[in-house]
Amino acid sequence: MNTTTVRGTVVIDTEACKGCDLCIDACPPQVLEMTTHEVNTRGYRYPRLLAGCTGCQACAQICPDFVFQVYKYDTPLELPVGEDARQ
Query: Residue 54 interacts with another protein (CB under 8 A)?
Result: no
**Nearest Cα residue to 29 out of 59, 10, 54:** 54
Q: What is the C-alpha radius of gyration for the chain, rounded to an integer number of angstroms?
A: 13
Here's the x/- map for another protein, 1-40, by CB under 8 A: it reads as -------xxxxxx--x-xxxxx--xx-x----x--xx---
Here's the x/- map for ligand SF4, 7-46, by CB under 6 A: it reads as -x-x------xxxxxxx--xxxx-xx-------------x
